[in-house]
Amino acid sequence: MRLPMLRSTAKYTRAPDLAKPAFGPRRLLLAGGAAVLLLAMVPTRADAASASSCPTAVTPPPGGVVWGQLCQVVGGAARLPQGVLIAVSRNGKPVGKAKTDEHGVFAVPIPGPGRYGVSLDRSTLPRGFSLAGRSRLSLDVFLDRQRVVFPLGPAVSTGRSLGDVLEVALTGLRSGLIIAMGAAGLSLLYRVAGIVNLAHGEFLTVGAITAYAFHVGLGLPLVVAAVLSAAVIGGFGFGLDLGLWRPLRRRGVGFLGRMVITIGLALILHNTMQLVFGVVPRQYHDFQSEQPLHLGSVSVLPRDLAVDVIAIAVLVALTLTLRHTTAGTSIRAVSDNPDLAEGSGINVSATIRHVWALAAALAAAAGVMQGVALQVDINMGAAILLSMFAAIVLGGAGSWSGAIAGGLVIGFAEEISTLWLPSDFKLVLSLVVLILVLLVRPQGILAPRTRMA
């Protein structure tokens, strides 16, 4: 424990050093530096996709052949490369070769149906031509004749303009802010209530859908609906503690038992949403037909900028509340040492209830923002649950300020990774981070060095 046992209870009212931010200016600077480095490593190239006017209908050559036509639009005109070498093989053994004729057409005779490998010799491409995809393709021939396509043109996957990269970075910042809001609540629940809340993702979803109900169902403006949703879900969190967790605390349900109960809670919330809302994703009606703002080479939707600003405001308000109000000080005291806090006259049970309300409201707000930035669907919360856990492990489990910093890093890193990796692998990155941190520094990268049991 960081608190010496003999510290006077008066310290609990306004103790500036009670919960130091887990990330000082130096660490933030490091993180920022790393981000700049990441950006600098991105290959940048501004290429515009050109319109195609290549012939589509070509008469196939007769006989059992693998054939095709090469064509590339260069300077606005379709050009057909001549003399490009195409080789066909089967089970690694060469079957035949051919060069393209003056129409860019090649045809390699084959013995019959089967699986063939077809490769294009890049070095024989005339000057000005380039291959957009792979130079080696695998081809199943079912009848006697099969066409194979080697798309020519500028390579599509490597070039990116600086504007694209900055837009991805902005998306990463937004996703990081949303994860941070969720993770802050998750971490407070963990530390104060001793609950690993596997239903936390569902709180995001419920928040987004409640706002949808106020907004589309009752016709309220989205901003009003969002505030109402956060209030209602915060109240729901409060009631949940009163009706479910307080009785369970009295029964003395163990740590693993509480975790299993959150699984039950997640099942109930998720499937109720599925019944009420359905599985089809929907959009909020407000702010749908916005024109993007152009800031230099970056274009961004005003609603996305608003999400960023509001999320930052919420996180600042959270920090101020925890640091400078009586309720916030109680929360930090219980999170540091529940027994000592109880001994100094803090009502621990009521504090836990406040944390439930706070965490649920934060999650609901994060859900609405996620819904504005993307869309509302019943899997939206569950999809970022793991990122939230990665964030709190990165920031040092139980430190709310660490969770916020961890959330920003995780969200940013996930989006930036899509510049190199297929987007299916975004979450893999979070897991790799999670496991590496646990192996190397289980108390969290951003947390002060403490001993872990």
Partner 1 sequence: MSSFTAVVLDALQASIGLSAAVYALSGIGINLQFGYTGILNLGQVGFMLVGAYGVAITHNLGGSLWLGILVGLAAAVVFGLLLGLPTLRLRADYLAIVTLAAAEILRLVVRARTSEPVTRSTQGIVGVAKEWFALNPIPTGRYGWDNFSFDQRALWMVLTGWTLVGLIALLMLAITRSPWGRVLHGIREDEDVARALGKNVYVYKMQTLILGGAIGALAGILLAVDAQSVFPDTWTAQVTFLGYVIVILGGPGRVLGPVVGSILYWFIIQFTDGVLQLTFNHIDQATLAPVRFIGVGVGLILLMAFRPQGLLGDRRALSVE
Query: Would you give the binding string for partner 1 spanning residues 198-217, x where CB under 8 A is met?
Result: x-------------------
Q: Footprint of partner 1 on residues 408-447 (CB under 8 A)?
A: 422, 424-425, 427-428, 430-431, 434-435, 438-439, 442
Q: Using CB under 8 A, pick the residue from 44, 53, 135, 271 that binds partner 1.
A: 271
Question: Which C-beta is closer to partner 1: that of 198 or that of 409?
Answer: 198
Among 114, 159, 264, 292, binds partner 1 (CB under 8 A): 264
Is residue 55 within the footprint of partner 1 (CB under 8 A)? no
Cβ-contact 81, 70 below 8 angstroms = yes
CB 82 within 8 A of CB 102: yes
Asked if 244 is part of the footprint of partner 1 (rule: CB under 8 A), the reply reads: yes
Is the CB of 169 or the CB of 261 nearer to partner 1? 261
Task: Pick one of 3, 39, 42, 248: the residue that binds partner 1 (CB under 8 A).
Answer: 248
What is the smallest separation between the CB atom of 335 and partner 1, expressed in angstroms? 16
Span from 101-109, 113-121, 172-180, 387-395 in contact with partner 1 (CB under 8 A): 387-395
Q: Which two tokens stand for residue 68?
A: 């095709």
Q: Is residue 254 near partner 1 by the rule CB under 8 A? A: yes
Min dist. Cβ of residue 99 to partner 1 (A): 30
Q: Does residue 257 belong to the site contacting partner 1 (CB under 8 A)?
A: yes
Which is nearer to partner 1, 3 or 248 (by Cβ)?
A: 248
Q: Applying CB under 8 A, which of residues 149, 218, 260, 317 lies at the interface with partner 1?
A: 260
Binding test (CB under 8 A) with partner 1, winner from 39, 74, 137, 386: 386
Torsions phi, psi for 111 (to 5 deg): -75, -25
Smallest distance from partner 1 to CB 175, Å: 17
Residue in 265, 314, 355, 361 binding partner 1, rule: CB under 8 A: 265
Q: Residue 263 Cβ, how far from partner 1 at the closest point, in Å?
A: 5
Q: Please, what is the minimum distance in Å from the beta carbon of residue 168 to partner 1? A: 19
55 in Cβ contact with 69 (< 8 Å):
yes
Our finding on whether 5 is near partner 1 (CB under 8 A) is no
Site string for partner 1, 272-311 (x = CB under 8 A): x-xx------------------------------------
Per DSSP bridges, beta strands 146-147 and 136-141 are unpaired
In angstroms, rounded to a whole number, what is the distance separating the alpha carbons of residues 149 and 143?
17
Closest of 404, 411, 332 to residue 20, by C-alpha: 332
Distance from C-alpha of 254 to C-alpha of 237, rounded to nearest angstrom: 20
When the beta carbons of 77 and 275 are compared against partner 1, the nearer one is 275
Give min distance, CB of 245 to partner 1, in A: 10
Name the segment binding partner 1 (CB under 8 A); options: 22-30, 57-65, 296-304, 384-392.
384-392
188 is an interface residue for partner 1 by CB under 8 A: no
Please state the closest distance from residue 155 (CB atom) to partner 1, in A.
18
Candidates 48-56, 88-96, 245-253, 360-368; binding stretch for partner 1 (CB under 8 A): 245-253
The closest of 83, 92, 86 to 66, measured between CA atoms, is 86
Radius of gyration of the chain (CA): 29
Q: With contacts defined by CB under 8 A, how many residues of the chain interact with partner 1? A: 45
Q: Segment 124-163, which members bind partner 1 (CB under 8 A)?
A: none
Q: Which is nearer to partner 1, 21 or 185 (CB)?
A: 185
Phi, psi of 410 (to 5 degrees): -65, -45
User: At closest approach, how far in Å is the CB of 220 from partner 1?
Assistant: 27
Binding site for partner 1 (CB under 8 A): 190, 196, 198, 244, 247-248, 251, 253-257, 259-261, 263-268, 270-272, 274-275, 386, 389-390, 393, 397, 422, 424-425, 427-428, 430-431, 434-435, 438-439, 442, 452-453
